[in-house]
């Protein structure tokens, strides 16, 4: 997929994913915007799939587009409550499956900046990958409990704000720790 197009589609998907719980929280379940968002997201996922090379990600994009079309066509917005669970499940699958590969997902990302990653860096990236798996599991469990308990206002607050703050906090803490680990490694 071409980089600028990919970035724009991903940005619009992120905005629309965050918009759903925020609109639900602020305007309630009968807001007309909520009925348009699944259509918009379905189109974005379909375009993303069309622009991707044949891969599991392309398959996932098309599957998600189809799920969103069904949700939109049936006006069964309760299906949209599960969207964050699906995305966190995808991320969990991506990160966890990499734990059984020669390079974890985080290691592959790290090697983009540091191709000659040493053994302690490899161990560190494996630990970070495991931590992210835990984050995705926590998000899945909390979101699922809120949906199953029909605590939709809390779901909106968690899915539209708290989960993003949680992810940002983990990213920030990991960045601080990574800087300390790099500093210690450079001193050795």
pLDDT in tens, 43-88: 999 999 999 888 878 888 999 999 999 999 998 888 899 999 999 9
Give the pLDDT score at 92.
Answer: 96
Give the pLDDT score at 2.
Answer: 60
Enter the DSSP assignment of 2.
-
Using the predicted structure, report yes or no on whether residue 3 has a pLDDT greater than 90: no
Question: CB–CB of 107/122 below 8 Å?
Answer: yes
55: region left, alpha or beta (phi > 0 left; psi from -120 to 50 alpha): beta
pLDDT tens per residue, range 33-54 = 889 999 999 999 999 999 988 8
pLDDT tens per residue, range 146-164 = 999 999 999 999 999 999 9
């Amino acid at each position: 997929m071409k980089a600028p197009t990919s970035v724009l589609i991903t940005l619009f998907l992120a905005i629309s994913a965050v918009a759903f719980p925020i609109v639900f929280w602020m305007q309630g379940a009968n807001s007309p915007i909520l009925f348009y968002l699944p259509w918009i997201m379905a189109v974005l996922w379909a375009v993303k799939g069309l622009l991707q090379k044949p891969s599991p990600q392309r398959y996932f994009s098309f599957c998600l587009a189809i799920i969103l079309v069904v949700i939109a066509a049936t006006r069964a917005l309760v299906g949209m409550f599960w969207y964050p669970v699906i995305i966190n499940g995808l991320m969990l699958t991506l990160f966890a499956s990499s734990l059984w590969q020669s390079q974890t997902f985080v290691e592959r990302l790290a090697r983009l900046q540091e191709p000659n990653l040493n053994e302690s860096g490899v161990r560190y990236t494996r630990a970070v990958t495991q931590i992210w798996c835990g984050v995705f599991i926590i998000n899945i469990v909390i979101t699922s409990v809120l949906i199953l308990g029909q605590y939709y206002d809390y779901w909106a607050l968690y899915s539209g704000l708290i989960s993003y703050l949680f992810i940002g906090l983990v990213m920030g803490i990991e960045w601080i720790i990574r800087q300390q680990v790099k500093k210690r490694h450079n001193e050795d």
